[in-house]
Structure 1
């Protein structure tokens, strides 16, 4: 089922209709729905590897000698991947998860980002009232702005600079 879904995505069809996936995979619709009760659950399964890479990038950023540079690199990495993959973006911004693995990965991500933010706060690089969840939500807003603005990815760096400036302590 996942292979069929990946083939659909590779062919440019991101609708991921569960009934169509069942037909193309040669399984019953009930089988698909038992594994993936909704489209979001399928996106979670398809995004698991990408989410794991994001967690690894967040851990590396948290260990960066320059916390602000690590944060900027992590934000850019996340935004580029979210712009390339709408399903990954949907999983990243979702307030609830279908799969325990997704919740665990998000918790790992938040721990690494919280550590990174703590280091950046101690160095005076960012404001004290910003939490890991805030950064994820702001980044999802930027992803939406880039995607919906018709400007394309060339606006990515401009928006990231604005976000980083907004994370700095008030003057």
Structure 2
């Protein structure tokens, strides 16, 4: 039953509906709205649940970036992975833009992503590839901003994403 609700929410997000009206999702999933709220206390909790799989995959990307022998390339890999995930999963993009998370699972995923990202940033600082004042939260905000810039324009989103990330990476250098 929970899986049906998540799939109904995912289908709405894929169709471009990020409002996630609980009544409509309950109807789409064939459950009552009370059942929706027993499983998901809020729209944000539902959104975080929908994004969880891609969030977990992003942690693997961050771990690989942290283990890249070239610290600057690892940083670039991490930013490109974060942006790629945000561009392919609107739920993840919205969750990453939130200042706080509700679900314990998302809090754990966020903590793990922060730890792996911190490793990437520390290695990049030690290699002189990044300014010393740049934080993990700066990186989160910058990638959210780049995602917004790519989504708000026309043309090839991949080319725009690469171009904007190149600008950001140059700006992160000391």
TM over 0.5, shorter chain:
yes
User: Which residue is 2:61 aligned to?
Assistant: 57
Give me the whole-angstrom Cα distance separating, in 1, the residues matched to 2:17 and 2:154. Answer: 19
* Stretch moving more, 30-39 or 98-107: 30-39
Deviation of the 1:86 alpha carbon: 1.5
Secondary structure (helix, strand or coil) at the match of 1:56 reads helix
Give me the whole-angstrom Cα distance separating, in 2, the residues matched to 1:109 and 1:53. Answer: 10
Deviation of the 1:24 alpha carbon: 2.2
User: Which residue is 1:93 aligned to?
Assistant: 97
Deviation of the 1:9 alpha carbon: 4.1
Give me the whole-angstrom Cα distance separating, in 2, the residues matched to 1:4 and 1:70. Answer: 36
In the alignment, structure 1 residue 159 sits paired with structure 2 residue 164? yes
Secondary structure (helix, strand or coil) at the match of 1:144 reads helix
Of 25, 31, 49, the residue aligned with 1:27 is 31
Of 118, 125, 130, the residue aligned with 2:129 is 125
User: Which residue is 1:143 aligned to?
Assistant: 147
Give me the whole-angstrom Cα distance separating, in 2, the residues matched to 1:165 and 1:9. Answer: 33
Where structure 1 has 5 or more consecutive residues not aligned to the other structure, the ranges are none
Deviations along 1:61-82, whole A, 9 cap, x unmatched? 0011001111111111111121
Deviation of the 1:26 alpha carbon: 2.2
Give me the whole-angstrom Cα distance separating, in 2, the residues matched to 1:146 and 1:32. Answer: 33
Give me the whole-angstrom Cα distance separating, in 2, the residues matched to 1:27 and 1:67. Answer: 49
Deviation of the 1:40 alpha carbon: 1.9
User: Which residue is 1:14 aligned to?
Assistant: 17
Deviation of the 1:4 alpha carbon: 2.4
Q: How many pairs are equivalent? A: 168
Of 3, 24, 43, the residue aligned with 1:39 is 43
Deviation of the 1:152 alpha carbon: 4.4
Computed over aligned residues only, the root mean square deviation of the Cα atoms, in angstroms, reads 1.5
TM-score, normalised with respect to structure 1: 0.91
Where structure 2 has 5 or more consecutive residues not aligned to the other structure, the ranges are none
